[in-house]
């Protein structure tokens, strides 16, 4: 007897496209279950949302082990993506099959879920076939019985499955060992750090494998053995070198080190503290009631910086705000690159001090605060410096990159460095901010790429947020703002709201961010720091006690 869904499709063959809605629901097929959650309005609209469920036979050693489960979900997603072949079957987007496309990073995504009973669920989009706006029944059945079934069959386990899982478990074991060893980052010997280009994150062919300086080499337990490489200790680390010698490449690898990477990426054994955040200058960004008095004070016309607001921040004020916001969200490691920083926030040399007296300069440069930040708040800093030698006097470690080879220049830098700047004595913890719900909640969240997300009518610029992976990630941040807004009553601080979000995600999983009643496959587990960055860049953000927004 023909499957029930085949009979249902035959009954609507040739009818107007909306009759596809009769397929909504759960359908049993030989070997898998097919769910139709949402039917597109016409063949030219975004394809329909569907799911398949398959019994995997995976044991509890994977389904109940978070690290292994996430690794297995990622492996299944990549296998499913590789099986999809575009085949047009009619008008518009008929026959299209699409699923969240992962990059080299392994992160929890909603596209594939593994449940405790071993069931695998894959969530994707399917363009239901039509000629004009009339249903093509035979093509629809072929699409399900041939293309979808073939994609299901691709999910059979092969030897790469176990390699994938073991790789993730090793990376997470290394990352968890960092703080116990007093480290903030680790780059294993043999890692391949250079990428092919800014838009191609595959390893560069012929790239120089990384080798740790002998004096910085440490050994970490990866769970299944010892791994040797360069350990970056907590405190202030400066990376120097000539142009194009690899210093920014090292920083970029550390920047993504809070994420796992696929086998063969070259950065599988590059790990950093989970709370590592890169900050940069962002001319024109909005700053809402951020206490930047550590870095700027006594502004002209008596403008207050404790707290400070502007709709058009300069390079120095934007970067100062980003530093404070990162600390507010719980960052333990700050990454800065001289090329993307405001020079006047980084340093103020002696000649400028002579030309412009200190009492006329409202900026306290970062070089005078960087050691304080570690000693008072436990926040380490890693900086890439090309032409600002003042940081040699505050650095506890100096790594020199020469033709992509790392050297420990700490001793030489110490001899060349001048006296350490005397830190200002006016250290004050930044004032907490209590966001209000108004303007943060919306049922409409849209993102075409990782550069911005539109929440209702508010466009949030994410260009300066390096931790955003792609458009799916940006869209998820918009949904995360909705979850944060529910608790934003003007009495909870930003940190408390982020704690609440983390707790909810930990207890209930990523699906709590779904904007629909049925599961969606385009969510990426958001980190609190990127959620905070989106919150802080929203021009709709208001905080308790402020009448300036």
Q: Are residues 376 and 455 in the same domain?
A: no
Residues in the chain: 549
- Give per-residue pLDDT as tens, 201-254: 999 999 999 999 999 999 999 999 999 999 999 999 999 999 999 999 999 999
> Quick one: average pLDDT of 21-44?
96
Q: Are residues 501 and 471 in the same domain?
A: yes
Q: Are residues 130 and 189 in the same domain?
A: no
- Give per-residue pLDDT as tens, 352-410: 666 766 666 788 999 999 999 999 999 999 999 998 999 999 999 999 999 999 999 99
| Beta-ladder partners of 295 | none
Q: Is 547 domain-assigned?
A: no
Full residue range of the structural domain in which residue 457 is found? 445-537
- pLDDT value of residue 360: 65
Least-confidence region, from 167-181, 259-273, 419-433: 419-433
Q: Is 424 left (phi over 0), alpha (psi -120 to 50) or beta?
A: beta
- Give per-residue pLDDT as tens, 340-354: 999 999 988 766 666
- Which tops the pLDDT comparison, 198 or 204? 204
> Quick one: average pLDDT of 462-482?
96
Parallel/antiparallel/unpaired status of strands 112-114 and 119-126: antiparallel
Q: Are residues 392 and 533 in the same domain?
A: no
Q: Is 505 domain-assigned?
A: yes
Q: Are residues 410 and 531 in the same domain?
A: no
Q: Is 408 domain-assigned?
A: yes
Q: Are residues 252 and 366 in the same domain?
A: yes
Q: Are residues 414 and 515 in the same domain?
A: no
Q: CA 549, CA 537: separation in Å to the nearest integer?
A: 13
- pLDDT value of residue 456: 87
- pLDDT value of residue 10: 96
Q: What is the percentage of the chain residues whose pLDDT exceeds 90?
A: 87
CB 96 within 8 A of CB 47: yes
Q: Are residues 456 and 408 in the same domain?
A: no
Query: Is the pLDDT reported for residue 549 higher than 70?
Result: no
Q: Is 546 domain-assigned?
A: no
CB 110 within 8 A of CB 23: no
- pLDDT value of residue 421: 84
- pLDDT value of residue 353: 66
Query: Is the pLDDT reported for residue 304 higher than 90?
Result: no
- Strand intervals (E) in 39-193: 48-55, 97-98, 105-106, 112-114, 119-126, 130-131, 134-135, 183-188
Q: Are residues 204 and 350 in the same domain?
A: yes
Q: Is 545 domain-assigned?
A: no
Of 381, 404, 431, which marks where a domain is finished? Answer: 431
Q: How many CB atoms lie within 10 A of CB 439?
A: 19
Q: Are residues 262 and 148 in the same domain?
A: no
- pLDDT value of residue 349: 73
Question: Domain containing 280 — which CATH number?
Answer: 3.40.50
Q: Is 149 domain-assigned?
A: yes
Of 377, 402, 431, which marks where a domain is finished? Answer: 431
Listed in sequence order, the residues at least 6 apart from 245 whose beta carbon sits closer than 8 Å to its beta carbon are 401, 402, 403, 404
Question: How many folded domains does the chain comprise?
Answer: 3
- pLDDT value of residue 199: 86
Q: Is 142 domain-assigned?
A: yes
Q: Are residues 359 and 215 in the same domain?
A: yes
Of 383, 405, 431, which marks where a domain is finished? Answer: 431
CB 379 within 8 A of CB 371: no
Backbone angles phi, psi at 125, to 5 degrees: -115, 145
Query: Is the pLDDT reported for residue 548 higher than 60?
Result: no
Q: Are residues 187 and 244 in the same domain?
A: yes
> Quick one: average pLDDT of 513-535?
96
**Which among 536, 103, 97 has a CA at the least distance from the CA of 313?**
536
> Quick one: average pLDDT of 95-116?
96
Is the Cα torsion angle 108, 261, 532, 444 positive or negative in sign? Answer: negative
SS3 at position 68: helix
Q: CA 240, CA 192: separation in Å to the nearest integer?
A: 19
CB 484 within 8 A of CB 535: yes
Q: Is 301 domain-assigned?
A: yes
Torsion on CA atoms 474, 476, 478, 480, rounded to nearest 10: -140
């Amino acid at each position: 007897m023909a499957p029930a869904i085949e009979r249902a499709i035959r009954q609507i063959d040739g009818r107007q496209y909306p009759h596809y809605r009769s397929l909504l629901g759960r359908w049993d097929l030989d070997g898998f279950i097919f769910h139709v959650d949402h039917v597109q309005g016409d063949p030219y609209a975004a394809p329909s949302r569907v799911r398949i469920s398959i019994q995997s036979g995976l044991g509890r050693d994977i389904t109940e082990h978070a690290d292994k489960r996430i690794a297995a979900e990622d492996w299944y997603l990549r296998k499913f993506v590789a099986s999809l072949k575009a085949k047009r079957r009619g008008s518009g987007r008929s026959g299209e099959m699409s699923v969240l496309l992962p990059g080299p990073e392994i992160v929890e995504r909603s596209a594939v879920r593994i449940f405790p009973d071993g069931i695998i669920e894959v969530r994707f989009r399917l363009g239901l076939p039509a000629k004009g706006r009339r249903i093509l029944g035979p093509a629809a059945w072929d699409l399900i019985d041939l293309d979808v079934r073939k994609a299901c069959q691709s999910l059979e386990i092969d030897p790469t499955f176990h390699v994938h899982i073991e790789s993730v478990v090793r990376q997470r074991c290394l990352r968890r060992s960092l703080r116990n060893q007093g480290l903030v980052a680790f780059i294993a010997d043999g890692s391949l750090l250079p990428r092919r280009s800014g838009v191609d994150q595959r390893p560069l062919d012929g790239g120089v494998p990384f080798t740790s300086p002998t004096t910085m080499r440490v050994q970490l337990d990866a769970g299944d053995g010892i791994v040797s490489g360069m350990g970056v200790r907590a405190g202030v680390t400066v990376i120097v070198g000539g142009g194009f010698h690899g210093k920014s490449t090292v920083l970029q690898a550390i920047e993504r080190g809070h994420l796992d990477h696929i086998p063969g990426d070259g950065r599988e054994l590059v790990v950093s503290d989970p709370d590592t955040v890169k900050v940069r200058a962002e001319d024109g960004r909005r700053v809402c009631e951020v206490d930047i008095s550590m870095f700027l004070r006594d502004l002209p016309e008596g403008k207050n910086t404790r707290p400070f607001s502007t709709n058009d921040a300069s390079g120095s004020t934007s970067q100062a705000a980003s530093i404070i916001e990162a600390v507010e969200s719980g960052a333990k490691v700050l990454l800065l690159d001289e090329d993307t920083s405001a020079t006047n926030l980084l340093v103020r040399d002696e000649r400028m001090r002579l030309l412009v007296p200190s009492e006329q300069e409202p900026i306290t440069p970062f070089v005078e605060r960087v050691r304080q930040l570690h000693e008072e708040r436990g926040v380490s800093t890693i900086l890439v410096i090309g032409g600002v030698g003042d940081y040699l006097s505050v650095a506890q470690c100096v790594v020199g990159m020469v033709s992509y080879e790392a050297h420990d220049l700490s001793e030489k830098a110490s001899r060349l460095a001048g006296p350490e700047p005397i830190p200002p004595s006016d250290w004050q913890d930044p004032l907490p901010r209590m966001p209000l719900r108004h303007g943060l909640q919306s049922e409409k969240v849209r993102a075409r790429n990782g550069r911005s997300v539109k929440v209702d009518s508010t466009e949030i610029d994410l260009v300066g947020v390096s931790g955003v992976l792609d458009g799916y990630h940006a869209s998820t941040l918009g949904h995360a703002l909705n979850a944060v807004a529910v608790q934003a009553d003007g009495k909870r601080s930003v940190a408390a709201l982020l704690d609440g979000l983390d707790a909810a995600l930990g207890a209930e999983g990523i699906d709590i961010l779904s904007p629909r009643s049925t599961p969606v496959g385009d969510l990426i587990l958001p980190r609190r720091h990127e959620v905070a960055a989106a919150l802080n860049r929203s021009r709709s953000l208001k905080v308790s006690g402020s009448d300036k927004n």
